[in-house]
Amino acid sequence: GESVGLHLPTLSVQEGDNSIINCAYSNSASDYFIWYKQESGKGPQFIIDIRSNMDKRQGQRVTVLLNKTVKHLSLQIAATQPGDSAVYFCAENNNDMRFGAGTRLTVKP
């Protein structure tokens, strides 16, 4: 069936480096995607979204890239900080939202 998944379950980066978190989706009809950040024991927090008619969208220190050809979504975090440590997961919309399991990002000082 259709699913949203992530390439890596964990990612460890040095403080100040850039982070790239990847997400593969299988439903080519999905028209909207969101990246969420979830800190331990808390609810997910919206980071950035992108519609399928776009390839790239930038926010504050974050960029989302959408490659519809290979059905791949990525989240780039510039100058990663300790406060960025969390689980990041993507969600896709095709009539309803489907969520991936997430990647745990750990930032080393």
Partner 1 sequence: SQTIHQWPATLVQPVGSPLSLECTVEGTSNPNLYWYRQAAGRGLQLLFYSVGIGQISSEVPQNLSASRPQDRQFILSSKKLLLSDSGFYLCAWSYGSSYEQYFGPGTRLTVT
Task: Give residues in contact with partner 1 (CB under 8 A).
Answer: 4, 9, 32, 34, 36, 41-46, 49, 89, 91, 93, 96-102
Q: How far is the CB of 29 from partner 1 (least distance, A)?
A: 14
Pairing between β-strand 62-67 and β-strand 56-58 as defined by DSSP bridges: antiparallel
Q: What is the largest CA-CA distance in the chain?
A: 41
Closer residue to partner 1 in complex, CB, 10/18: 10
Contact of 48 with 61, CB cutoff 8 Å: no
Number of residues assigned to the chain: 109
Closer to partner 1 by Cβ: residue 18 or 51: 51
Strand partners, 9: none
CA–chain centroid gap for 79, Å, is: 16
Nearer to partner 1, 38 or 76 (CB): 38
Q: Given the complex with partner 1, which of 23 and 77 has the nearer CB atom?
A: 23
**Structural tokens at position 37:** 């950040």
